[in-house]
Chains A and B, each alone.
Chain A
Amino acid sequence: MTPAAPDETIAELRAAVASGDRSAVDICQHYLDRIAECHDRLNAFTTVLREKALERAATIDLNRDAWRDCPLLGVPITVKDVICTREISTTAGSRILAGFRPPYDATVVTRLLAAGAVILGKTNCDEFAMGSSTEHSIYGPTRNPWDLDRTPGGSSGGAAAAVAARLAPVSIASDTGGSIRQPAAFCGVVGVKPTYGRVSRYGLLAFASSLDQIGPMTLTVSDAAIVLGVIAGFDPNSASKPVPNFCEALSGHVRGTRIGVARKILADGVDAEVLDAFEEALRVLTAQGASVIEVDLPHMEYAIPVYYLVAPAEASSNLARYDGVRFGSRAPTNDGETTVERMYDQTRDEGFGAEVKRRIMLGTYALSAGYYDEYYVKAQQVRSLIRLDYDRALKRADVIAMPTTPTPAFRIREKIDDPLAMYLGDIFTVGANLTGLPAVSLPAGLTETNLPIGLQLLGRAFDETTLFRLATAYERDVPWWKKRPPVATV
């Protein structure tokens, strides 16, 4: 007889608390124990809120009746360390923010708390979310729960590893060029990059403001729909749109849904096992009545150079605020001879790591006199052509499908000395950010060596509903999320 599966989806956890079967404290303690048990192996967290989380869970238990209707009643969550949490260390994995305790909560955090969530801690990430491996963090690399020698992807590697290893049922993260979807694919969990503007960015440490978006990482598609419903919506501090009921989409069928596939972009550089899993996923969906049509994304080959000019340009401007004056760390200046200019330079030199410096340099160059038109404006023009490609494709297709990443998780240190090689791996994810379109990555198989493979679906602007409908139909047939990595074997 197999042991009963533990509660691990939002619906199960919430129901257990609402019915009184389990207390929020009991659930919180379970996950805190899991975090402690796995910390040395995974290094998924930068801060664990042992006392605060248990206190909060106890408050929920005490007021259970008043909170009964909350969608995340007693559900433990993690928050990526680039999202501000009031009075709780928020470092972005950077030395320059050592000791920073924001005086306010990000809008998403306020909403999650109002929905009854319990914050377990902050998750590790590449410094200022710049990276694809979670190796660029002062807290050291996070490891992939499926293979401890491999990266969990990035930048939200801690968030993905935490959900995959069952250290938390929900992680909240950010995605600027794939930072939610790529680690979701590498760790075998669901990750959603909502439409640009769907979720408030207030309280997210800005990396590239025209690309950044906050979204959920969960075990199942329905959990992602629940969490997106909580965090999306009107915020007087940020542009946004009215929110549909995402969960209503989950029972729908996919008959007649047209899935666009751009075969040309899969022609080279994609791992054979990833391709096989992708084709198999298409078969699962067509067997349910969806149809596959060929679409063309002719400017796809320019997506990486466009992204790696636009994002660093925006970053170089956003990161100018870290100057050692108003918050964050400051280099020692007690010799009496140091000028303010020298203090800025020294603070930034000591505070930022190599990848962040590289991108600030790249962005500053692309924006500097004499190069602005040649690099930055040119990139934004080609970005328009990329948008046009997707617009055309999404006139004929309801969604566009492609693998989330060209390969499964790579080894720690494999690409650390070759930034360009690291950037090229983002080929399938940057498009959703450049165009603002919503995209989801969901688990769609395991390689022979037991590494997760991700399927990515992109949709029309503000049409996350169709993505959820298709993703949940796939998941019902092939529930890969039930496969557990070695560190989470029951």
Chain B
Amino acid sequence: MPSRLTRADVERIAALAHLRLTETEIELFTKQLADILEYAERLRDVNTAEVSATWHPVPLSSPLREDDVRPSLPRDDALANAPDLGPDGLFKVPKVIDQ
């Protein structure tokens, strides 16, 4: 049995997932996620030594098309939902350095 999920685990995962959690959320999630993972422990009872994993449920092949040039979304439409647009059709973000 792995040890129960800790507060430090929750803080580490939040950083990985780019979520800045409040103190209350950290406390709540530590308990709730630990409960859920504990419930999931029952999967250990299943012998899967010889079992391959299912990544996709139904075998389907992605359709191929002729390699013709087709119209794509106009640039202005693709950019229309950006929260902050820079000049010349660029997405603007806060500074990336100093990290």
Asked if A368 meets B83 with Cβ closer than 8 Å, knowing A305-B42, A384-B54, the reply is no
- Expressed in whole angstroms, the Cα–Cα distance for A423 and B73 within the complex equals 39
B93 and A305 within 8 A (CB): no
Report chain A residues within 8 Å CB of B35.
420
B17 x A364 contact (CB < 8 A) = yes
Chain B, interface SS category: loop
Taking residues whose C-beta sits less than 8 angstroms from the other chain, chain B's interface range is 35 or more
With beta carbons under 8 angstroms apart, the residue of A210, A330, A346, A385 that contacts B57 is A210
Number of interface residues of A (CB under 8 A): 77
Contact across chains for B80 and A381 when beta carbons are under 8 A apart: no
CA distance A6 to B52 in the complex (A): 54
- Asked if A384 and B60 sit within 8 Å, CB to CB, the answer is no
Chain B's closest residue to A310 (CB) is B54
Q: Please state if B18 and A345 are interface contacts (CB–CB under 8 Å).
A: yes
In the docked arrangement, what's the CA distance between A399 and B13, Å? 42
* B73–A383 touching, CB < 8 Å: no
Within residues 299 to 346 of chain A, which ones have a CB less than 8 A from any CB in chain B?
299, 301-302, 304-306, 308-309, 316, 320, 323-330, 333, 338-346
Of all chain B residues, the one with the shortest Cβ separation from A101 is B81
A325 and B62 CA atoms in complex are apart in Å by 29
Within B1-20, the residues touching A (CB, 8 Å) are 2, 5, 9-10, 13-14, 16-20
In the complex, the answer to whether A358 meets B91 with C-beta atoms within 8 Å is no
Kindly state the separation between the CA atoms of A304 and B39 in the bound complex, as whole angstroms. 9
Of B18, B32, B95, the contact of A419 (CB 8 Å cutoff): B32
Residues of B within 8 A of A195 (CB): 58
Question: Do the beta carbons of B51 and A381 come within 8 Å of each other?
Answer: yes
Cross-chain contact A342 with B40 (CB below 8 angstroms): no
Which of A119-127, A134-142, A234-242, A279-287 is the contact stretch? A234-242
* Of the residues B17, B40, B58, contact of A197 by C-beta under 8 Å: B58
* Known pairs A103-B80, A345-B18; A382 contacts B43 (CB<8 A): yes
Say whether B40 contacts A357, CB under 8 Å. Answer: no
A349 on interface, CB distance cutoff 8 Å: yes
| Contact of A378 with B by CB under 8 A | yes
| B82 adjacent to A210 (CB under 8 Å) | no
Q: Let me know if A360 is at the binding interface, CB within 8 A.
A: yes
Verify if B23 is at the interface (C-beta below 8 Å from A).
no
Q: Is A435 an interface residue (CB 8 A)?
A: yes
Q: A80 to chain B: which residues have CB within 8 Å?
A: none
| C-alpha gap A346/B22 in the complex (Å) | 11
Tell which of A333, A358, A374 touches B94, judged by Cβ atoms closer than 8 Å.
Answer: A333
Known A-B contacts A196-B57, A383-B54; the reply to A328 vs B83 at CB < 8 A is: yes
From B21, B37, B73, B91, name the one whose CB has the most chain A CB atoms within 10 angstroms: B37
The answer to whether the Cβ of B69 comes within 8 Å of any Cβ in the partner chain is no
A15 interface residue, CB < 8 Å from B? no
| Contact A387:B54 (CB < 8 A) given known A241-B60, A349-B19, A420-B35 | yes
Is the beta-carbon distance between A436 and B51 smaller than 8 angstroms?
no
Is the pair B43, A236 in contact by a Cβ cutoff of 8 Å?
no
Q: Does A70 contact B (CB under 8 A)?
A: no
Cα distance A305–B44 in the bound complex, in angstroms: 11
Q: Tell me the B62-90 residues at the A interface (CB within 8 Å).
A: 62-63, 65, 73, 77-78, 80-84
Can you identify 30 A-B contacts, CB atoms within 8 angstroms? A102-B81, A103-B73, A103-B78, A196-B60, A239-B60, A239-B63, A240-B60, A241-B60, A302-B42, A305-B43, A309-B43, A326-B91, A330-B84, A340-B93, A340-B95, A343-B93, A345-B20, A348-B17, A361-B14, A361-B33, A362-B36, A365-B5, A365-B33, A365-B37, A377-B53, A379-B40, A380-B55, A381-B54, A423-B36, A436-B57
Residues of A within 8 A of B (CB): 99-104, 195-197, 210-211, 234, 236, 239-241, 299, 301-302, 304-306, 308-309, 316, 320, 323-330, 333, 338-346, 348-349, 352, 354, 357-358, 360-362, 364-365, 368, 374-375, 377-385, 387, 419-420, 423, 433-437, 461
Chain B residues within CB distance 8 Å of chain A: 2, 5, 9-10, 13-14, 16-22, 25, 29, 32-33, 35-37, 39-40, 42-44, 46, 48, 51-58, 60-63, 65, 73, 77-78, 80-84, 91, 93-99
Task: Identify 16 new A-B residue pairs, CB closer than 8 A, beyond the known A305-B42, A368-B13, A381-B46.
Answer: A100-B81, A101-B80, A210-B55, A234-B63, A306-B43, A338-B95, A341-B18, A349-B20, A358-B33, A381-B48, A381-B52, A384-B48, A385-B48, A420-B32, A436-B56, A437-B57
